[in-house]
Each structure stands twice: as C-alpha cells, then as structure tokens.
Structure 1
Amino acid sequence: MQTDQHIEEPSPTPGGDKGAAQGGEGQSPHRVPARLPANSQAAVAQRMNDVPERPVPGVSYAVSQQPIRPAGWRTRRHIKRKNLRQTIKTINRSDRVGTQALLPLAISLFSVFVVVVLIFVTITGFINATHQKFGDKITTLTDILPHDSTRIYDSKGKLIFQAMDQGRQTSVPLDKISPHMAHAEIAIEDQYFYKNPGYDITGITRAAIENLTTKKVVSGGSTITQQLIKNAIVGNQATVLRKLQEIILAPDVSRYYTKEQILEMYMNTTYYGERSYGVEEAAFSYFGLNGTPTQTAASQLDIAQSAMLAGIPSSPIARDPLLHPKAALNRMQEVLQQMYLQGYITAKERSTAIAEAQEPTFFKPGIKQNGQATHFANYTLRELANTLHVKVADLSRAGLVVKTSLDLDLQNKVLQVAKKHIAEMARAHNMSNAAVVVLDHHTGAIRTLVGNIDPENPRYGAFDVASQGYRQPGSSFKPFIYATAFDQGISPGETVMDGPLTVNMCCGLPSYTPANYDLKFHGWVSWRYALQNSFNIPAVKLLMRTTVDKALHTAQSMGVKTYQGTPNYTMVLGSLSIHLLDNTAAYSTFANGGIRMAPHAIETVQDQTGKMIFQFKPKGVRVLRKETAFMITDVLSDNNSRIYEFGKCSSLVLYSTTMNQCYAGKPGPIRVSAAKTGTSNDFRDNWTMGFTTDFTVGVWAGNNNNTPMVNVTGVDGAGPIWHDTMLLAERGHPLNVFPGPPPTLIMKTETYPGKTTTDWHFK
C-alpha cells in the first residue's frame, strides 16, 4: 500500500522489530505497513516479483576470494600444449611412414590369403569333382577293367579260337601266378606296395626331381594302385590333372580292395607288349608257356622270366625283348637288382637269372593258332552275337568263354578226307572244293563244319560255303516233296508212269519238259523205286500232285530257312539254291522221327569269372508225322532199291572195307544208313545227304567260282567224302538199326496200275 509520505524502513536486524517497537515509545509514531504471514499464499505470490538485480560489472564485493588455479598454471599449460603438438606431429609423421611401409605388406599378405583360399577352394572342388566323376567306378572296378579276349573251345575243352583284334588277355587268380612274378613287379614298380595308402609321396618327389634334372619324363613315380587307376579309370593322358586324379582316388581304391586284389587286377590287365595283356598271355608270347586245366602259364614263370616281363610295362615297345633285346636285358638287370636289395632273391639267384636270360633259347615266342576250324569259329561268333543280341565286333573283349559242340579231332580228320578226295578229282573232273557238315540230330549239335577245304587261301578261303553259300541241291531236294506226299497218305508202294511229260508254266514262261538223268523212260514204277533211283519225271508229277506251296512249306518247316530262286515245278529237281547247313538240318529231321532240332554250335557261355550266362537246352518241334519220317527213312535206306542207279557197293553203303573188297563179296560189317545224292545243272554242284542212327552228314562238292565240273555226279563227287566222314563220326559207336514202324503203319500188298507192290500204308 502506498502513502503520500515516504517512510524509510530500517534494515532488519536480529530482533529489529522488537527494538523498533521499544525505541519508538518516546518518539512520534509512524505507520508500518502490514505484513502478511510468511506462509500465506498471498505472501508467496508477493515474493514472486522479488527478482534480484544484476550485479554491476567491475564491482567487487567485499567477500573472501580463493584463487581458482595455482600460480604458474598458464606456463605449464603452454608447455604441455607445445609438447602435445610435437607429439601429434611425431605420431602423424610415424603414421605416414608406417602406412607407406606396411600397406604393400598388408596387400601382399591379403593377396597370399586370397590365393591360399582360392587354391583351397580349387583343390576342394577338384577333389569333389574327381570323386563325383569317378567315385562309382571305384566300387565297380572289377567290372570296368578291360575284359578278357573271348575264347571258344570245342566240346572236349580244346581252344579253337581266341579273339586277337584288340589284343589278347586271359585273367588268372593271383594264387596261380608265380610268386617270382609278383615280387618282380613290386620290387621295380612299387616297393612299398603293402605299406602305402595307394600313393607314394617319396616316389612322386623323386620322379619329379629326376624329370626336372633330365628335362624329360624318365620316371612316373606311380604306384601299382595308381597305374591300375590310370589303366582302368582316368585314362593314360600325360597330364598333371590325371596324376592328381590318381593320387585322389588311390586311397579310396586301397580302402575298398585288398592289396592282393589290387595286385591281381594289375597283373591281369597290364600291357606287356606283343599284343599281350596280363601275365598269362605274356608268358605264352615270350616263352611259349601254355596253360593246362591244372596249371596256368603264369604259374610256370621262373625268376629270370619274371624279371624280364616285369621290366616291360614301363615302356612296352622300347623294352620289348623280341624287338630290343639289349634294352630289355638292361631293364631286367635293374629289376633283379631291386629284387636282391629288397630281399626277394639272393645274389646267386640274381647271377643265375642273368646267365639264363643270355642263353639263345631263353625266348620261345608262342604263336596263337586261330586257323583250326576257322569257319566253325566264325559261325559260332555269329550265333553268339545273335544269342546275346550284340554285334560280332563287340565280342572281342567281352570276356566270354564259349564251349561249343565241335569235335575238333573229327573236324580235322574230315578236313583231311575232303582235301584228299578233292585232290584226286581235281584234274580229271575240275573239282576244287568241298564243304561238310556233321550234326547230332538228337540235339542239333554241330559236330563238324568244314566250310572250305583251304581256309588259308587268300582268294576264297575265308568264304564258308556250308553256312553262307547258296548252291543248287539237285535231287537231294526231292525227299521234301516225297515227305509232303507221304504225309498226305500216299504210300511208297503206289505206282507212277515214268514217261514223257510236258508241264505248262504260268506267267508267260515256256513249257517245261523234264528228263531223267539217264535220258530214259522207265514205265510204271513205285514211288519208292523212283526216289531211290532219283528219277526226275515221277518227282515232277508228284510235285504237281502235292502243289508247290505245300512242298516248299515242308522243306522250310524241316530246316531250309532261306533260299534263292523262284519256287515252281522245277524246284523238285533242285532249282532253288540253299545252304548246305540248312539241307543237313532238314535231313536230320527225318533222322529224328519228324522232330526238328535246330542246329547249334554253342553249348554254354560263361564270363571270365565262371558265371553261367547261357546254356543251350535242346527243344524239338514236331514238323512231320512220325509215320512220314519213318517211310522216308525206310525208302532212303533201301540199298536194294537203288542198285539200278548206284550199284550194290556205292559210296552210299557204309561198308567197313574198301569198295573193291565190297564188290568182291567182303564188305565187312555194314552200318545202316539212309542217303540221297544230288547233282545240279551242268554239274556245277554235287551233294550227298544222309544219316545213321547217330549222325546226319551233308556234303557239297564243286568249285568256288561255280564253274561246271566234268562228268561227275553226287555219288562220285560228294559221295566218297560222305562215306568216309560217316565212318569217322561213327567210330566207336555200336551198329544200330533204325527204329521200327509206328503202330499206325502196316505193311501190305496192293495192286496198282502196271505193278503190284508190298509197302507201308496207313491203317
């Protein structure tokens, strides 16, 4: 509250209010403004406007002053800051120098790190890629190794053929390989074979140093395991990558296979020169050692021979002892030295082996003979390819062991018989070649197949007339027409007029007038007599009666699979060209009672481990009634009926003495047989077909160029070969007779035009 008069209020002092009140008792009173209680809200609001005045600059208050900083602090601060600036300069200068010096080092270290990482990643990737690419091949190594050469044996286990176009290989178990050979290979190729994991770092390093020193590849440093991998899995390219792949895969192979298995695989597939793969073939190629059923060639190798062979694989051409004997001997001495140092042989054995190798008779090169039964072997390969559904070219290294039906001894004897007879007929009758087939008609097994008497002839020796040549069968085709007629119920005793005949041909062809071989007519004759004496006119009449289609069907169902020419009425005289093997197979159907057994060469097929792949099981098919087969057999074995044409001691009669002795009444034991001859137009082809109770034999004789022979028939040309072949095949077999007639046939006498006959009839 303001008044007109200014009243100065004394400064408060302790107890001031009380003194003022007391001292004012004798003075004039003055008014003091009222005060609000200190704790009232109004007093608080009044005090809110009490803002202290700002102090006047430069004015010192009368209060005690303490120095904030000690004396000399500015100097010390200046010195400190100066030293700090100097330190910072030094550090900066050091940083600049350090950066310039350490940055390249850091970059280098980083680059090395990056390179190491890249190398690690690359190596890891390469290892993974190698395992991914070749991993499966390790577990199937025994399957992907080069297979053995396909071998073909005769029925008695004699080797007649071994494929050689892709080299020769015959695998044998390790326990049937000479220990000397195993020691020699280990000593020279991989002395730590039984200890290393499949690779030898020491050997690789040593080889690298040698190669760098000589500036050429003089050593590979590969272990036996690596060499096996090279030969079977990764290939033989001379690259670093291939070598790395070997090293990567070697431990896997060593873990999966035993050392003995690895060594066996290696020694059976390594190339030893002279087209020989594996120890077994090498033992034959260089030393003429032959395996037997109880002993392999590889098991017969001595120390000298083993050391010589062990030195070859590192350079099969340069160290081939037959081509470079000096280089081979030097290498052999290295092998012997290693064998001695590693304790496999003594010093005396080493000296003895060296002396043995220097003998002039040390090497005895073996020569594989594939010339035995050449045409049969080729036929077998074609049959094998057809059976396994592959190409013949794929069989060379298929590792197959084929046992066949061939009797090699009989084959060779028959070949000599054919050569002898052809030599006798060549000059006077212009006959130069023959083919022979011997079948076991009970099973269809081919016991002999002579496709050509001169297989080595460069012009025509390779051609197999028996299974590949088409030749006209002449009258040997007639029994198929007669069989068709007999199957229709015609009796061999019925008669036919053998007289002039003209047949009108279809399709604009000129008429056909057949003639008999002797150019005569024989009047009324029985079918038996006509067939046995091979009369042509009755045969044509019979074909007209049975029809061409039915007669051709009979021939085909019996075994004549293919032919060349046009089937018509002339085919009864042999105008169709057929294979000798097919004709023989068809005749074997007669011999087997009307049951056709397809001819075959293969009995069993095994792989090189002995696993059976194929085994022939005979399966016959009846294509003729047994009555028909019996009647044909009965007619063709009737020697008395054919005396008119052939004589009583022709080559169709299987007497055991000579022809002269037979005509002199001393034929000896006569083996029962059924036979038929055939001669084509212009004497181009001679045939003799026939069978006994055991075998069916077919013989063709003629010329390779199909030129005519001179005045020779089947009984004179092919007949003697057939006669001698049959006796050879039957040697040791008992003299059996053909089975008797079926119960559905009866022998009875009937009167026919011109003749009364007694013969077989259906009941």
Structure 2
Amino acid sequence: MATGMRTGDTSNSPDSEEKNAQLQVSQPVDAGEHLRQPAKLPSYSQAAAAQRLADKPEPLERGATYEASQTRPHEPGWYTKRHLKRKNLRGTNARVAVTTRTSTRTMVSLGISIASVLLVAVIIFVTFQGFANAVNQKYQSRVTTLQDILPKDNLKLYDAQGDLIYQAQDQGIQTSLPLEKISPNLIHAEVAIEDQNFWKNDGYDIAGIVRAAIADLTAHGVVAGGSTITQQLVKNTIVGNHDNALRKLQEIILSPEVTHYYTKNQILDMYLNTVYYGNMVYGAEAGATRYFGLQDTPKATAAQQLDIAQAAVLAGIPSNPALRNPIAYPKNSIKRTLEVLQQMYVQHYITIQQKDAAAQEIQRPGFIKPTYPPQEQAATYVSYVMSELVNDTNAKLTDLSRSGLIVKTALNLKLQNYAQADAKTHIQQMAAHNMSNAAVVVIDQHTGALSAIVGNIDPNNPKYGSFNVATQGYRQPGSSFKPYVYATAFQQGVASPGSMVLDAPLTIPMCCGLPSYQPQNYSRTYGGMMTYRHALDNSLNIPAIKIEQAAGIDQSLQTAEKMMGISDGSTTKAANVFYGTPNISMVLGALSVRLIDNTEGYATFANGGVRVPYHAISLITNQNGKVVFQPNTHGKRVIDAAAAFMITSVLTDNSARYDEFGPCSSLYLYSNSTSQCYAGNPGKITPAAAKTGTSNSFVDNWTMGYTPSYTVGVWAGNNDNSQMINVTGVDGAGPIWHDVQMYLNQGRTNLHFVGAPSSVVKQNGDWVLKR
C-alpha cells in the first residue's frame, strides 16, 4: 500500500479522471444551454463527506501497497488524556447518579417522614381532643361543684359552753377557714415553693414540668413533681392520686377548667384548707396547731399566727409528707425549709434579713412544739351523742368522721365530771354491800337538754366500760314507777293525795287457775288507814296496788308511755320504752325501763305535765355555719297540770316520809351537815321532789327527782344483775342524787315550783280536783 493513500479513496485517481472525461464527452449538449457539470467539492467538506457516505470501499488487494500519510493525527499523550477524561467523566457521572439517587431517596424519605410526623401529630391531636373531651365530660360536674366535693372537716363535738369535748381523728383532722384567716406568710411560702407562676398561669406550667423532668433525669429519680397548685388540688379532689401518666394528663386537662370556674383566691383557699401536712393533719389551721401549738384566740386563728419560719416549715411538707414532717424527720424538714426560704427570698416575698432570721429560728430548740388533740372527755355522753347524731342526720356512723359537722351539745362538762367522780366515790364506799356500778342522767325539764349522762363509773373498764347503763340498760324501776299510776288516778279524779286508803293484808284472785296474788310492803308491816300522800311518800306497796286497780293497768301504762315519749300511748309501742308484760305488779316496778326514759318521765312531772323530748344535741351546723339540725324543744301536754301538780306536792313533802326515811334523808336538799339537820338546823333548803325505788331481790336501786331547775335520775347496782346486800334507794342511789342536785343548785336563789293550777282546790287540808 502506497504511502499517503487512503483505502477506498479514488476520487483523484487517473482512472477516475478518465472516466469523468468520457462521461462528459458522451453527453449531448443542448445549444443555448450552458454545460452543466457537478460542483466539485473539497474533499474535506461535510457535503463531500455526505456524498461519500454511500460509497463502498474497494476491497484491498493482497500484496498491494497504498499511499498513506505518516503524520500523527493527535499529539502524544492525547489518547491517555482522553482515556483519563473519559474515566473521570464516567466516575463523575457515576457519582452524580449516586448523588441523584441518594438525594431522591433522601427527599422521598424526608417527605415520608414529614408526612408521617404530620399524620402522627394529627392522630395525637385527634386522640388528645377525644381524650380531653372524655375527661371534661366525665369530670365536668365535679369541676363545677368542686367547693362542695372538697374533703370535709372532721367531726367536732362541743359542750354547752363551747369547749371541744371530742373530734373524730380516724380519718385525719381538718378545720377549714376563709383565706383571709390564713397567714399571708403561708400563702407566699406555698406559692414560692410549689407554683411560682401561680398568679399568672392557666392552671398548668409547661416550664415547671420541663424543669421537673430535667431535675428527675439528672437525679435518676423523682425529685420534683412539676405540678401546679391547681393541679395538686385537682389531684386531691377530682382525679385521685394514682401515680401514672394518665392521671397527670387528666390534671393538665382539668386545671384550666378549674382556673376558668374559680378565682385564684378561691383555688388557694381550697388548697390551703385541704392540703396534707403529715401526721394526720390537713389544712393550715390543723397544721399550725399540730406542729407549733398555736391555738385560736379572740383576735386570730391559729393559722393567722404563723410567722415566716413556721409558714416555711409547713410549705415544705406537702411535697413529701412522710419524710419531711418536722416531728419525725427534723433534719429533712430543716433542709426543705431552707429551700423554701431561699425561694421566698429569690421571688421577693421576704428580705435577706428576714430569710436569715427565719433560718436561725427553725434551728432553735423548742421551735417545733408537737401538740396532740385533747383526749376525749365525757366518754359515755359522747357515745350517746354519736347514736343521737346518726338518728338526727340519717347518716352512717362511719360517714360522720369527715362529715364537716360541728355539733353543739347540751353537756355541762363540769357537772358531768362532778357526777362521774361522785358516783365512783360513792360506789367505792358501798363495796361491802356488793354494789359495783351506778349511772346518772340530768335533764333540764324546761328544754329537754341532757346536761349530763354517766353511763357507768369506769368508762375505761375493758370489761363493761363501753356499756352505757343510762341509755342502754333496761332495769326494773321498783317503786319509782308508782307516781305514774298515782298521777293517772289523780287525773281521773278517782283519788287525790288526801284520799284515805287502808294499808292492810290484801289478796287478789287471779284468773285461769293461777294462785291468788298477795302483795307485801317492803317492811312486811301494815300502817292501817292513811292518805295516799303518806302511802306514796313512804313507798307502800298495798296502797299502790289499790290505786292501780282504781285507775286501771292499761290507763296507767298509757300515762307512763306518754310521759316517757310514746306520744300516742299505744301498748304496741311500749317495747320502745319498756321490757316485760304489763300486769298487776306493774305499779311495783315489774316492767324494765331505761334510766334516761324514767328520768324524762319525772321531767314531765317537773314541767307541769308538759313533755319536752330530751336531747343531747342542741345544734348541728356544717363547716360553713349553715344550720343542719335543731332539736324539737316545743313541749306537748301529756297529763293534766292538776295531776302533775299533785304529784309534785306529794313528792316534795319531806315530813310525810318521816316514817320511812326520817327528817334528814338524802331526798331532802339541805345545805348544812347531817348532824346539824338532825339538830334542827338544816340550813338553806332547796325545794325538791324525790322518789326512791328498789327492785325485787335488791338487784336495782333508784332515786328519781327534780327541783324547779333540773331533773336527776340515778341508778345503782351491778352489771351482772347480782343482788346487792341490805341496800335501799335512799342508801344506794340516794346520796348520789343528793350530791348532784346540790351541785346543780348551788348559788341559786328564789327557787320554787309553779303554784297550784286553777283546776285544783284544797279540801280537808289537801289538794283535790275542782268539781
């Protein structure tokens, strides 16, 4: 192949030129036309190249040589550079492709993530809204009535003078106060340590929750709660204190609702009166008393008297009452109190000087003064009050502890303590007569107020101390029942105090084959003809049987029932007052009766035949001062004034009972000594009507009676119903009755019973019904 010749390129060859010349000659040329020849194009032009596209190179001949150019088409290294460029281009393209694919995937992932987040957010929002709506629907009524559903104060009982005698402690002690009666120091301390944004937040504090969460994570445990005061109030009163996220979420949902319905002062009022301060005390008032011995005064409540140091101690307790109360854990309390003081200073509630002074105060000996509630007083009286409280309020006993009720009773505490001590002393003196117990009831006959109830001489006795003989024990009243029968006869006009009766052996035939009944006097002797006045004053049995026969057993029973509280007098209701079957021996005390009911009957005599229901409770109010209950103190006439007057006339006649009791018995209220009385100098005399009673076999011993002011009933005997030895009413129960009446009437002057009603006149020296 010749050098410089390209294979297949024949355009410039001799043969080619020759052929072209022949072609040109052979073609005719029209006259007048120019000779047309194909344009010759440069071989390097694109058009020439295009014309040659269809040319097929001639096959190479073996052994031939062709001309070829020896010039290099490219400079040295061009192909290497091109290779590297292409390699770099391929790498770049690959990287671009990877980047493109990665970016695409990233954008897709980001889009999916954003969409997922939005979807989750929507789901969470919808779920939260649904949950919030459910929570609001469930608790809305509790939010709007929050002040009504707050934990109530503990039950408190006061005597007639306003002194606290009992408070329920089994479910904690709480005394609610208006916010203005709580020290501002405590308000500032609580806000500073529990909820520094209280006055401006909506019931929850996101910043506080975050701070608490960080503190908990840092300490690897729960060291801060993040709950606002409003949230704590919601927890304590609405949703409960279960330690879980659901409860926390409920707090956050409900707290704005509470903030919407109540002012900040109202929320703080509710919180400070119910927050738990440890040691079974709730609220500022109870805490101030429990830890610092502060007591209410006419000028300020205990909670109003809290200084900065005391307030800081209390404010430090609620976050952990078990471990931060200053009695059991003083070091923990001091550490927490210093934190409270620091926050009060930082938030500008106190100055640095006040902070330092309070920090010194809390570490002084005696700063904490543990003060326990006073011991229960008048245990048997309180026991009866609780039973009466259940009846008056229709509440269960277990529901009364935190009922918020304030009960004013009719109790005269000094009288109660005196009667309790006097009964115990006398029973000890009568031990040789096998007398081991006594009970006392005192009633103001004008109002029905139970001024004292001694249920037994030893309320702390583990064997029988809880049994209240005065209100629970049914005992035979002996001759103390006779005045009811006599009053029936006097009212009917079948007899009068001056009527004559024969005290002689008596035999009463009985029906149905039963042996005849032959009653006996206590002395086993007979007095012959006498007045009913004399017979009743000396407690003779045979005249009593005769007047019962004249008056009628059923009629006499109805009189007793009405005087003791059965208003309609039906015998079917007698089981409420009496125990036993009414029969001819009823006048001698065969029916068992409670001391409190027998005392009410005598109080009806004392009140001229008008019965006023007895009551131990004078007033019940709730903790807001609203009256819940007042007893019925309106009397109802149950026997004629004439009958009541004649009974009083008989039972006050000390001279008429000389035969049985002598001139200076315990039924006679004289101020001087017994020896002076027998010497004819009894001293000041308090008018009193009295009657004794002794049951069969000396099991029960009674003295019942009244002055113009009070009615007193006394029972003496044994809890096991064993017989006493040689004891009469004037010896057993009489001295206690005498002492209590003398105590009640000391210092009283111008005492006298109401005069004779117009329905009676004197005839033959004694009173009779006017005809």
Structure-2-length-normalised TM-score = 0.82
> Kindly tell me: are residues 97 and 722 of structure 1, through their superposed partners in 2, closer, same or farther at Cα, counting changes over 3 Å?
closer
AA partner of residue 208 (structure 1): A
AA partner of residue 140 (structure 2): G
The equivalent residue for 2:623 is 608
Q: Distance in 2 between matches of 1:349 and 1:471?
A: 68
The equivalent residue for 2:437 is 433
The equivalent residue for 2:453 is 449
State the 1:106 CA deviation.
Answer: 5.0
State the 1:351 CA deviation.
Answer: 3.5
Q: Which runs of 5+ in 2 are unaligned?
A: 1-46, 51-97, 566-575
> 3-state DSSP class of the match of 1:666?
coil
Query: Which of 680, 686, 689 is the equivalent residue of 2:704?
Result: 689
State the 1:227 CA deviation.
Answer: 0.6
Q: Distance in 2 between matches of 1:566 and 1:307?
A: 69
The equivalent residue for 1:130 is 135
| Cα RMSD for the two superposed structures | 2.4
Q: Distance in 2 between matches of 1:137 and 1:734?
A: 59
The equivalent residue for 1:474 is 478
The equivalent residue for 1:409 is 414
Residues 471-497 of structure 1, C-alpha deviations (whole Å, 9 max, x = no match)? 221111111111111111111222222
Matches within 5 A, 1:649-664: 649-664=664-679
> Kindly tell me: are residues 706 and 300 of structure 1, through their superposed partners in 2, closer, same or farther at Cα, counting changes over 3 Å?
farther
State the 1:416 CA deviation.
Answer: 2.4
Alignment pair present for 1:262 and 2:277: no
Alignment pair present for 1:762 and 2:770: yes
AA partner of residue 438 (structure 1): V
Q: Distance in 1 between matches of 2:350 and 2:119?
A: 54
Matches within 5 A, 1:628-643: 628-643=643-658
State the 1:94 CA deviation.
Answer: 13
Q: Which one is further off, 414-423 or 687-696?
A: 414-423
> 3-state DSSP class of the match of 1:343?
coil
> Kindly tell me: are residues 149 and 101 of structure 1, through their superposed partners in 2, closer, same or farther at Cα, counting changes over 3 Å?
closer
Matches within 5 A, 1:82-481: 106-425=111-430, 427-481=431-485
Q: Distance in 1 between matches of 2:502 and 2:681?
A: 37
> 3-state DSSP class of the match of 1:350?
helix
> Kindly tell me: are residues 313 and 467 of structure 1, through their superposed partners in 2, closer, same or farther at Cα, counting changes over 3 Å?
same
Q: Give the conservation status (yes or no) of the 8 Å contact 2:613–2:632.
A: no
Query: Which of 495, 502, 523 is the equivalent residue of 1:518?
Result: 523
Q: Give the conservation status (yes or no) of the 8 Å contact 1:671–1:735.
A: no
> 3-state DSSP class of the match of 2:321?
coil
State the 1:758 CA deviation.
Answer: 4.6
Q: Distance in 1 between matches of 2:254 and 2:163?
A: 41
> 3-state DSSP class of the match of 1:760?
strand
Residues 392-422 of structure 1, C-alpha deviations (whole Å, 9 max, x = no match)? 2222211111222222222222222222222
The equivalent residue for 2:540 is 535
Alignment pair present for 1:493 and 2:493: no
> Kindly tell me: are residues 509 and 133 of structure 1, through their superposed partners in 2, closer, same or farther at Cα, counting changes over 3 Å?
farther
> 3-state DSSP class of the match of 1:318?
helix
> 3-state DSSP class of the match of 2:474?
coil
State the 1:370 CA deviation.
Answer: 4.4
Alignment pair present for 1:728 and 2:736: no
> Kindly tell me: are residues 163 and 511 of structure 1, through their superposed partners in 2, closer, same or farther at Cα, counting changes over 3 Å?
farther
AA partner of residue 353 (structure 1): A
> 3-state DSSP class of the match of 2:257?
helix
Q: Give the conservation status (yes or no) of the 8 Å contact 2:642–2:769.
A: no
The equivalent residue for 1:47 is none
Q: Give the conservation status (yes or no) of the 8 Å contact 2:760–2:767.
A: no
> Kindly tell me: are residues 137 and 513 of structure 1, through their superposed partners in 2, closer, same or farther at Cα, counting changes over 3 Å?
same
State the 1:257 CA deviation.
Answer: 1.8
> 3-state DSSP class of the match of 1:619?
coil
Q: Give the conservation status (yes or no) of the 8 Å contact 1:440–1:696.
A: yes
> 3-state DSSP class of the match of 2:577?
coil
Residues 150-209 of structure 1, C-alpha deviations (whole Å, 9 max, x = no match)? 212122211112122211110112221122222221221112221222211111111112
Q: Which one is further off, 144-153 or 407-416?
A: 407-416
AA partner of residue 448 (structure 1): A
Q: Give the conservation status (yes or no) of the 8 Å contact 1:672–1:735.
A: no
AA partner of residue 665 (structure 1): G
Q: Give the conservation status (yes or no) of the 8 Å contact 2:460–2:466.
A: yes
The equivalent residue for 1:737 is 752
> Kindly tell me: are residues 191 and 688 of structure 1, through their superposed partners in 2, closer, same or farther at Cα, counting changes over 3 Å?
same
AA partner of residue 409 (structure 1): K
Q: Distance in 2 between matches of 1:217 and 1:245?
A: 20
State the 1:385 CA deviation.
Answer: 2.2
AA partner of residue 120 (structure 1): F
Structure-1-length-normalised TM-score = 0.83
Alignment pair present for 1:619 and 2:624: no
Q: Distance in 1 between matches of 2:106 and 2:192?
A: 57
AA partner of residue 658 (structure 2): I
Q: Which runs of 5+ in 1 are unaligned?
A: 1-71, 76-92, 750-756
Query: Which of 544, 553, 557 is the equivalent residue of 1:548?
Result: 553
State the 1:107 CA deviation.
Answer: 4.5
Q: Give the conservation status (yes or no) of the 8 Å contact 2:646–2:767.
A: no
Residues 692-722 of structure 1, C-alpha deviations (whole Å, 9 max, x = no match)? 1111111112222332222221111111111
| Percent of aligned positions that are identical | 57
> 3-state DSSP class of the match of 1:542?
helix
Q: Which one is further off, 346-355 or 230-239?
A: 346-355
Q: Give the conservation status (yes or no) of the 8 Å contact 1:442–1:597.
A: yes
Q: Distance in 2 between matches of 1:293 and 1:508?
A: 75
> Kindly tell me: are residues 549 and 338 of structure 1, through their superposed partners in 2, closer, same or farther at Cα, counting changes over 3 Å?
same
